[in-house]
Amino acid sequence: MKDKIKKIDITFHFTFLNVVFVIVFISLFFLFLFVPKIHLKGDYVVDININSKYVDEGVNFKKKIKTISNVNTSKLGSYEVRYVYKDKIFKYNLKRIVNVKDKEAPKIVLEGDKNQYYCPNGTYEELGYKAYDNVDKDVTSKVKVEKDDDRIIYTVKDSSNNKSQVIRKIIKKDVEAPIISLNGDDNIFLEVNGTYIEENVTVKDNCDLDTKLSITNNIDNTKVGDYTVTYEVKDKSNNKSEIMRNVKIREPLKSNTIYLTFDDGPRDGTTDVILDILKEKNVKATFFVTMNGSDSLIKRIVDEGHSIGIHTASHRYDLIYASIDNYFNDLNQVENRIYNITGVHSKLVRFPGGSSNTISKKYSEGIMSTLTRDLLNKGYQYYDWNVDSGDASFANSSTKLYNNVINNLSHDKYNVILMHDTKTYTRDALSKIIDYALSNGYSFDSIDINSMPIRQKLNN
Ligand code: ZN
């Protein structure tokens, strides 16, 4: 059987028709090889989001092909991309469907927190929300708000049925502490045995009308020292707030006593002479120093038992009163100088122009109120004066200065005298002033951190 088929096969092979058939077949095969083949890259139907970028994947085709597209990505719709090719023998026309759809859900933005607490005795009030869609724009009015126990569910759909949902948890619990603020000053100065008057605090709470306030203090008004009054307040949900007030018990300045205070120095040629006179008369004074003069003068001031305080490094009003930072940077320079030379951490301060100066207003409105408070809170004390020797203004001779000082002394009060150890006429009048005072029954003393500060009224 096998042999028979073979025979027939061989016979057929050599027939004329068969030869023609084979030739046609081979020709078609080669023709097929030459026909350019074409097919789409990517899907026939492509869905893209509106306003997104459409990148056409094109076709797999070796020859240059024309692409015709009407895709508008900024408008919802169904579009076509066509790929056209034509030469003398072949013609192709393929297409792809591109659907521009809204695939993005609106966004819901809640006012307030996602976990919103409200007072135990209160009712939750809607805090508001907004919803925005990429196509429909503001869809706030379409938001459906439902309440379910401790949840508020916000749902919104855009015109393409894309849905968004946001949930807010509402919790009946007071988590906010009361807000507490001091009535009166945060730094109170009292003379020894003076009476502390409680000025109390003001308390506000988000939920409770009557909060629990406890006031404790460690004040011992019989002893010079720094004390605190602590105010602690709790609301009904046990949220706690605390605030403190500093109470400083100080030695009163003595009446019939002269406190000589010298600013702007030291200065070689004047401060050294002034120190000699004070030593000779056994009088103690207070020096508010700058960066000027020899270090040895700073050392002498301390070594000879006088008080040393900080005046200023630059003495430039436009600089030190321009900002809080400027002031403290300046102050620290002098403080460090004193410390480096003497080992004394001075916390005594005198403001250039005094605390009542109005010049500072030109550089920074209200700066003296802030500065004085900051100084006290940082542990410094500032001291003004109640007798101006005039040596920085009209009393520009030793006679004028002498007369002005002795005419302004009083036996019934303390006399804190403002002087400048940089002035030659101050140096020259000092001996006579001291002699006059001693022979008229006055005493001399210096000011220190335990002394009751003398403070002028703030004007800026
Ligand atoms: Zn000064």
Domain's final residue, options 101, 126, 152? 101
Q: Establish if 18 belongs to a structural domain.
A: no
Strand, coil or helix: what is 124?
Answer: coil
CATH of the domain at 163: 2.60.40
Tell me the CA–centroid distance for residue 279 and ligand 1, in Å.
24
Tell me the CA–centroid distance for residue 363 and ligand 1, in Å.
17
Tell me the CA–centroid distance for residue 413 and ligand 1, in Å.
24
Same domain for 271 and 375, yes or no, is yes
Confidence check: pLDDT of 455 > 70: yes
Give the strand pairing for 107-110 and 129-133. antiparallel
Same domain for 265 and 123, yes or no, is no
Distances (CA, A) of 385 to 21, 218, 350, 355, 432: 130, 31, 9, 10, 21
Confidence check: pLDDT of 421 > 60: yes
CATH of the domain at 360: 3.20.20.370
Confidence check: pLDDT of 4 > 60: no
Same domain for 168 and 84, yes or no, is no
Q: Cβ distance 243 to 273 under 8 Å?
A: no
**pLDDT at residue 27 in the model:** 85
Tell me the CA–centroid distance for residue 34 and ligand 1, in Å.
104
- Helix locations, 289-357, DSSP H: 295-303, 317-320, 324-342
Domain's final residue, options 47, 72, 101? 101
Confidence check: pLDDT of 13 > 80: no
Same domain for 350 and 301, yes or no, is yes
Same domain for 388 and 360, yes or no, is yes
Work out the average pLDDT over 276-284: 98
Beta-sheet strands, E only, within 173-223 = 179-182, 187-191, 201-204, 212-217
Q: Establish if 17 belongs to a structural domain.
A: no
**pLDDT at residue 83 in the model:** 95
Distance CA 152, CA 145 (A): 7
Same domain for 409 and 275, yes or no, is yes
Work out the average pLDDT over 29-51: 88
Distances (CA, A) of 329 to 292, 321, 322, 323, 325: 17, 11, 12, 10, 6
Distance CA 255, CA 261 (A): 16
Q: Cβ distance 181 to 201 under 8 Å?
A: yes
Tell me the CA–centroid distance for residue 62 and ligand 1, in Å.
92
Structure tokens at 22: 């084979």
Q: Establish if 25 belongs to a structural domain.
A: no
Domain's final residue, options 250, 269, 296? 250
Confidence check: pLDDT of 303 > 70: yes
Q: Which residues contact 336 (CB under 8 A, 6 or more apart)?
A: none
Q: Cβ distance 323 to 457 under 8 Å?
A: no
Tell me the CA–centroid distance for residue 419 and ligand 1, in Å.
9
Confidence check: pLDDT of 28 > 80: yes
CATH of the domain at 76: 2.60.40.10
Q: Establish if 50 belongs to a structural domain.
A: yes
Tell me the CA–centroid distance for residue 186 and ligand 1, in Å.
28
Distance CA 409, CA 433 (A): 11
Tell me the CA–centroid distance for residue 423 and ligand 1, in Å.
12
Q: Establish if 97 belongs to a structural domain.
A: yes
Sign (positive or negative) of CA dihedral 121, 124, 125, 129: positive
Reported as type and span, the H/E element at residue 369 is helix 367-377
This prediction has a pTM of: 0.73
pLDDT-based confidence at 224, cuts 50/70/90?
very high
Tell me the CA–centroid distance for residue 291 and ligand 1, in Å.
12
Distance CA 60, CA 63 (A): 9
Same domain for 83 and 191, yes or no, is no
Confidence check: pLDDT of 417 > 70: yes
Tell me the CA–centroid distance for residue 387 and ligand 1, in Å.
15
Same domain for 316 and 340, yes or no, is yes
- pLDDT, tens digit, 9 for 90 and up, residues 43-96: 999 999 999 999 999 999 888 899 999 999 999 999 999 999 998 888 899 999
Tell me the CA–centroid distance for residue 343 and ligand 1, in Å.
24
The domain total for the chain is 4
Work out the average pLDDT over 246-263: 98
Residues of the domain holding 412 = 257-444
Same domain for 387 and 284, yes or no, is yes
pLDDT-based confidence at 35, cuts 50/70/90?
confident
> Rounded mean pLDDT of the chain?
94
Same domain for 419 and 293, yes or no, is yes
Tell me the CA–centroid distance for residue 312 and ligand 1, in Å.
8
Q: Establish if 455 belongs to a structural domain.
A: no
- DSSP 8-state assignment for residue 266: -
- pLDDT, tens digit, 9 for 90 and up, residues 381-409: 999 999 999 999 999 999 999 999 999 99
**pLDDT at residue 1 in the model:** 46
Q: Establish if 318 belongs to a structural domain.
A: yes
35-39, 43-47, 263-267, range with the lowest pLDDT: 35-39
Cis peptide upstream of residue 266 (ω within 30 degrees of 0):
yes
Tell which wins on pLDDT, 17 or 366: 366
Same domain for 240 and 307, yes or no, is no
Tell me the CA–centroid distance for residue 354 and ligand 1, in Å.
9
Distances (CA, A) of 70 to 58, 74, 186, 242: 14, 12, 75, 70
Same domain for 263 and 342, yes or no, is yes
Q: Establish if 383 belongs to a structural domain.
A: yes
Distance CA 396, CA 402 (A): 10
